[in-house]
Amino acid sequence: MAMQTAVNFGLINKTYPGTGAGNATQWQRFTQVVDSLNADSDLDTVYKVLFMGRHGEGFHNAAESYYGTPAWNVSQYCPPDLFARL
């Protein structure tokens, strides 16, 4: 199972108008743009950045596929009626 990780949390490496080259990182340039958008917007407009990520397939997902959901849901570590009590 190959693991893939997004570099820079997936932020695309690009130039933004008005940020200049300098030594700013990609995230610093992106932050400048968002700050500029907020500074130039009317009072009813706010720009926000949401970070959303999803983990890939973990070992527990692969084990459930291998053993099957019914077998995966039965565990020697919890009482058989645990889910009935929830």
pLDDT confidence of residue 45: 97
What is the number of residues in the chain?
A: 86
* pTM, 2 dp: 0.55
Quote the CA–CA distance of 70 and 74 in Å, as a whole number. 7
19 inside domain: yes
On whether residue 28 sits in a domain, the answer given is yes
Asked if 3 and 58 count as a contact pair (C-beta separation under 8 A), the reply is: no
pLDDT of residue 80: 60
Q: Does residue 55 belong to any structural domain of this protein? A: yes
Q: What share of the chain is helix, strand, coil (3-state, %, to 5)?
A: 45, 0, 55
- Residues 17-68: pLDDT tens digits? 777 667 888 888 899 999 999 999 999 999 999 887 777 767 667 777 777 7
Q: Looking at the domain assignment, is residue 2 inside a domain?
A: no
Domain extent for 15:
7-85
The count of domains in the chain is 1
Q: Confirm whether 1 is domain-assigned.
A: no
Query: Is residue 14 over pLDDT 60?
Result: yes
